[in-house]
Amino acid sequence: MLGERILRLAVRLLTQVLHAATYMFSEIAGRHVNFAVGSEFPYFEDFLVPRSLLIVASQSGETMDTLEAVRAAKRHKSKILALVNVPSSSLERLADFSIHLKAGPERAVLSTKAYVAKLALFLLFTYTLVGKYKKGVELIKTASKKMARMFKEGIEGDIKKLAKKLVDSRHIYIIGRGINYATALEGALKIKEASYIHAEGFAGGELKHGVIALIEKGTPCIAVVANDRARESVLSNAMELKSRGAYIIGISPKNESVFDFWIKVPEVGAASPIVTVVPMQLLAYHLTLLKGYNPDKPRNLAKSVTVK
């Protein structure tokens, strides 16, 4: 039933995971989905019909704009699937179906564990839609094992070195393509939220449409590079940035000549956004510590946005 409904509409409410999920539905499941940011959903609800499925992801299950989107969908008699980390939350009670993230208590306002859990669930969901549940499970298990090895091999030490290089930066730019465009957006958000350094994520192909004007000598630019069909294009974009003076940080399974600093991540195929986002979460964390701030409680932010 869910597989049939999702042909009509799937809407996500957290922008970065939303972007990643749309690529997964397209590339793995061959399904078209529409999405909207939660606060903008009221302007899209007229598209909802009884055969629509609204997929809603929320760590707390109490965010105001998320709950309003769900109530709008119910007015149109659409079905609701909730991905939520807090059992018995308001979102779960409103939903027709729910899947628990099981990420454990998310104490940090920045919600890093829940983000990775959502990626894993969407990856598994899209494989299940095409009858490849076991393949999805094995891919996630492999990514988990390789990520554990990544820590044993000392990635955090490399991130600490990088944080010391970037701690006085005014701007950090991050590029990606395909599913790792979403990773670039999420990485930039975490750096901004925690360290208060201005960071922006961009689709690599959009650089020449104005963004490249921001690059000066020494500007730190992170390139998220996976071994997928976007690889050569992202490397070409990184070279464009470097030719304008940028300091290129590569997050990739393989060191490339364009990189000035390399963060090695494992090769995990379609699960690449799960492993590529972790270095940027760590970078945000260590930048924040170096600047003397509390990474769990950024200023002006709350765990759940319960007001408009």
pLDDT, tens digit, 9 for 90 and up, residues 168-226? 999 999 999 999 999 999 999 999 999 999 999 999 988 888 889 899 999 999 999 99
Query: Are 22 and 15 contacting, i.e. CB atoms less than 8 angstroms apart?
Result: no
- Residue type at 142? T
Residues 135 and 124: their CA atoms lie apart, in Å, by: 9
Residue 52: pLDDT over 90: no
DSSP, collapsed to helix, strand or coil, labels residue 197 as coil
User: Taking 80 as the threshold, does the pLDDT of residue 303 lie above it?
Assistant: no
Percent of the chain residues past pLDDT 90, beyond the cut: 61
3-state secondary structure of 152: helix
Maximum pairwise Cα distance, the chain:
55
Comma-separated ranges of CATH 3.40.50.10490 domains in the chain: 2-131, 153-290
Q: Which residue has the higher pLDDT, 305 or 111?
A: 111
Is pLDDT of 13 > 60? no
What is the average per-residue pLDDT within 265-274? 96
**Residue of 63, 77, 75, 52 lying closest to 14 (CA atoms):** 63
Q: CA distances (Å), 258 to each of 175, 181, 224, 250, in order?
A: 14, 19, 12, 8
Q: What is the pLDDT of residue 12?
A: 39
Averaged over 139-154, what is the pLDDT?
96
* CATH number for the domain running over 2-131: 3.40.50.10490
Mutual angle of helices 112-129 and 133-152, in 10-degree steps: 150
pLDDT of residue 308: 58
What's residue 171's pLDDT?
Answer: 96
CB atoms under 10 Å from CB of 151, counted, come to 11
Of 245, 241, 196, the closest CA to residue 223 belongs to 241
As a whole number of angstroms, the distance between CA 22 and CA 24 comes to 5
Least confident of 7-21, 43-57, 239-253, 276-290: 7-21
At 82, which helix (H) or strand (E)? Answer: strand 79-84
Residue among 66, 115, 119 nearest 94 (CA): 66
CATH for 153-290 is 3.40.50.10490
